[in-house]
Structure 1
Amino acid sequence: MDKEALLTRYFSDSLTAEELQLFNQLLENDTKFKEQFEFEKDLKRAIKEKERIQLKAKLQDFETELKHKSTPKNSNYKAWAIAASIAILLSVGWFGYDNFFKVNYNELYSENFQQYPNTSYSITRGDIDNTIERQAFVAYETGNYQTAVDNFEKLDSSTKDYIDFYKAQAYLKLNTTDTAKPLFKKVISDNVEFVAESHWYLALIAIKEKDKQSAISYLEKLITDYNFNKEKAKELLDKLI
C-alpha cells in the first residue's frame, strides 16, 4: 500500500490488522515515514486544539447572550436552548465536530504504548552461561521478538513468574494481541509480579481493539488500586470518557 494512503487510513482510524502491522514496521524502520507521521500527528493535534478553542469561545458567547436575554416563561425555552447549542456545534463544521469528539484508537495506542524494559534478568557481557532464559532476554532487548518468544515458550513460568509478562510483551511487539492478552490476564489472576503493569497493557490492548468499555474498566482498576502509570491512566481515561 502507498505510504500516504497508509497514513491517511491511520489518522481516520480505519487500518486493518495487516495494515497496522505494516504501519508499525515502517514506523520502526523507515526514518522518512516516521518523520512524516510525526509531522502530520503534530499538525492534526494543532488543528484539533484550534477547533477546541473556537468551539469553547462560541459556547461562551452563546452563554453570555442567554444571560442578557429575558428567560421565556413557556416550556419551549429548554428545547430552544438545546437546539441553539446544537446549531453552534454544527457551525464548527463536520470535520471539526468529528475530530473534536471522535476517539482515534490507533493514535491513543501508539502514543501510550512503550515496551516494558527488562528489569528481571541481568545480562552482562562477560556472562558465559548461555541459558535459554538469557537467550530469550537478549533477543527481547535487541528487538528480536520472535526469537524471544520461541525461547520464552521453552521456559517454565511456574518457577519464574515474570516469564509470562515478558512473553506477552514480545507478542505485543509482534502485533499478536490475541496471544498476549491471556498471558497478561494470567499474571493478574496468579497475583504475581507485574499485576499493575498488566492492567495497563490490557487497557492498551482494549484500545487497540476499540473495546472502549474494557479499556475504561482496566484503567479505573489501575487508578484505584495501584500507582503504576496512574497519571497517564487518568489522562487516557479522560480521553475515552
Structure 2
Amino acid sequence: MDKVVASAADAVADIPDGATIAVGGFGLCGIPTVILRALLEQGATNLEAVSNNAGVDDAGLGLLLGAHRLRRIVASYVGENKEFARQYLSGELEVELTPQGTLAERLRAGGSGIPGFYTITGAGTQIADGGLPWKYAEDGSVAVSSPAKDTREFSTFGQTNTYVLEEAIAADFALVRAAVGDRHGNLVFHESARNFNPIAAMSGKTTIVEVEKLVEPGDIDPHDVQLPGVYVHRVVELTPAQAADKRIEKLTVREPGQEG
C-alpha cells in the first residue's frame, strides 16, 4: 500500500478541533517541523499535545502554543519555553507533568494494546498521591489538581516496593519525523533523533510521518527498519531544503584562540 500523500497540508487536513496529538522529538532534535507548521496553518484548535517537551517559543510545538491552539499538554520537560510558563501560570493551559520514562512507556503501552502498567517511579510522591497543579485559576489558586493513583505492593528480586499504576496513552494522531522511509511506511531514524519518535508513532490511531528521504519498498534492509510500516498511515516526503532545515537549540562556541 502506497502511503505517500501529496503534501503536509493534505496529511493534516482531517485533524479536528479537540484532537489529541502525540508528537515525536526531543527538544528540537527529530521534531516534525513541517507537519507542525502545516497543522498551524490548517487551524485546528483546542488540541491536547503529548510530547517530551513543548518546543521553544518560535519552533516545534511552541508555534501551536503561541497561537493558543493547545488546551492541554502532557510532557516531561518544558523549561525552554517562556510562553508555556506564562500560559500555565496564568491559567490558560492545563499541564500534566509526567516522569520521562513513564511518559515513554505510556506511549509504548498505548501502541501495544496494553491499558496500563505499574512502575516504581513516582511512588511516595505527588505523582502517586495526587495534588499536582494541572491548571491554575486566574487568581493563582489551583483550579485542577492531579488525582491520586492506584498503588500496589510487589516483591521483585527479594525486595518489596510500592508501585504506581499508570494508564496508557492512545492519541488520535501521531506526528513524527524520520530520516528514511519507504512508501509502505517502514522507517529509519537518524541516531538521537530516534528519541520519542517510534513510541509516539506507535501510540497514534493515525500516524503521519515526514521523511527526509523517500525510498522504494525493499530499499531498506529489513534488519535496519526501526519502526515497521504497520504503525504508519501517511508519509510526507520533504524537499531537500525542508530536510536540511534543522535548528540548534543551544549553540555554544569558543572565541578564536581560546583553549579548552
Q: TM-score, normalised by structure 1?
A: 0.24
- From the two aligned structures, give the one with the greater helix fraction: 1
User: For the pair shown, which has the larger CA radius of gyration, 1 or 2?
Assistant: 1
RCO comparison, higher one (Cα < 8 Å, 6+): 2
- From the two aligned structures, give the one with the greater strand fraction: 2
Q: TM-score, normalised by structure 2?
A: 0.23
